Amino acid sequence: MSRSLWTFPEVTEIKKLIKAELDRKLQEVGVASKLEFILLRINQLSASETPTDGIRLFVYAMSALAHHERHGGLQSSQVKDLMQVAEATLKVFQVTPQKSKLAFLYGELAMISSQIHLKDGQFWKATWEQYVSIQLSGNQPPGGKQFVDLLFGIKYLRLGHGERALGYFHAAESSETSADVWMLARINRIRSLRLTGRFAEALSLNQETSGLPIDPNLQLELDWERCCCEVHQTQNLDELFKLVQKGSTHYRASYVLEFFLWALAAPTFQWLKKLPKIRTLLRDDSLELKEQGFYYPIVRDLERSYDEKVLLLTRLQLLGGILEKLNQCHSVDKQILILGAVSRWLHRNKIKELSGVILLEYVSLCTKVSQGRSSDLLGLMRDC
């Protein structure tokens, strides 16, 4: 086996220097111009042949990919090219997957590929690439075992494998976990308990967690999850409704849009009647509804489907467009809510054939995620 032309200390130091440089650049020129700067650096280094420049080229390529995963900005062809540049650079400078002390660099590359696929809604590909990342890294999983467990949990839950996800989230909460990883693992474990039909366990762990000194954002999630659990028992959305009122704790775009989905799936119109129209909420610049680029148009079109001044055919086409996007949802609980909302509309409009098939999809997904514990995880669709 050829010896790598890079050393661990050199890679670590250059990573540190480039991160500091890019942090300064972000402060100076902003997000979009930071990406332009990274791409310029990559272009300047593309013909370099020294080991040090090779490390810099790899780190800049990884930085561009990480930037894209967080903020976007690259075309799919650019992402592919950067992946190839990074992998080719590792090979040129004789970094060997699995066995080399620097094998974790292959793992980091496959992991950022996994996260980009996750962002793009390619959930199976994201899960597959994460396994590739671990295989290439040898005994050095990127970010550490707890971080890897957290990501596996997120991906398995999205694929509807709630029990498997629970195991990974529990493992990610180990004593060695960072505060950020622990927080994400804990709230996802609570959500997974709800989505596997273990409502009492979800509420118990929720209460236990609320008694700890925790981040305020985690407390927001805990309060939301508690109310979601209670809906299953009461079929009453009043507590969720109170949380999303202007001036209340959860008056944020993500929660407001999710509440719309709950209200649209409910068997009565009482909460829909209380809600302001989406076009009214758009006027509130502090809410930034359009920043929720995936869910905002779905909720807007669901609301529009109740406008009887719009032709029935047009409204059906709106719902069909929503269903086409369903597999791109990043969370299985939103998938369940959207199926419930569409099924409710069809049920109300007595479109029996379509209503029946969407309800079958809803029941099938609930049954899969909960491993048969519940065919109605929302607790709102019993009358259908």
pLDDT digits (tens, 9 = 90+) for 111-142: 999 999 988 888 889 889 998 888 888 777 88
- How much is the average pLDDT of 160-180? 90
Please check whether residue 152 lies inside any domain of the structure. Answer: yes
Number of domains in the chain: 3
Please check whether residue 381 lies inside any domain of the structure. Answer: yes
Give the tokens for residue 141.
């999983």
Are residues 277 and 157 both part of a single domain?
no
Are residues 129 and 210 both part of a single domain?
no
Q: How far apart are CA 177 and CA 185, in angstroms?
A: 10
Query: Of 234, 269, 292, which marks where a domain is finished?
Result: 234
pTM over 0.75: yes
Are residues 333 and 302 both part of a single domain?
yes
Tokens 């209670």 correspond to: 230
Q: What is the pLDDT of residue 2?
A: 58
pLDDT digits (tens, 9 = 90+) for 307-334: 999 999 999 999 999 999 999 999 999 9
Residue 175 domain boundaries = 144-234
Q: What are phi and psi of 16, to 5 degrees?
A: -65, -45
pLDDT band at 10 (very low <50, low <70, confident <90, very high): very high
**Does residue 47 have a pLDDT over 50?**
yes
Are residues 82 and 157 both part of a single domain?
no
Are residues 43 and 102 both part of a single domain?
yes
Query: Of 117, 142, 167, which marks where a domain is finished?
Result: 142
Whether the CB-CB separation of 137 and 147 falls below 8 Å is answered with no
Are residues 203 and 283 both part of a single domain?
no
Q: Where are the alpha helices (DSSP H) in 159-294?
A: 162-172, 179-195, 199-210, 216-234, 238-243, 253-265, 270-274, 278-281
Give me the percent of the chain exceeding a pLDDT of 90.
Answer: 77
- As to burial, measured by CB atoms within 10 angstroms (0-12 exposed, 13-18 middle, 19+ buried), residue 43 is exposed
Give the tokens for residue 98.
């699995």
Please check whether residue 239 lies inside any domain of the structure. Answer: no
Please check whether residue 57 lies inside any domain of the structure. Answer: yes
In sequence order, what are the residues at sequence separation of 6 or more whose Cβ sits closer than 8 angstroms to the Cβ of residue 77? none
| 124-128, 257-261, 284-288 — most confident range | 257-261
Are residues 347 and 216 both part of a single domain?
no
Are residues 353 and 227 both part of a single domain?
no
pLDDT digits (tens, 9 = 90+) for 64-83: 999 999 999 999 999 999 99
Query: Of 118, 142, 166, which marks where a domain is finished?
Result: 142
Q: What is the pLDDT of residue 1?
A: 47
Sign of CA dihedral 86, 91, 97, 99: negative
Nearest by Cα to 221 from 246, 261, 198, 194: 194
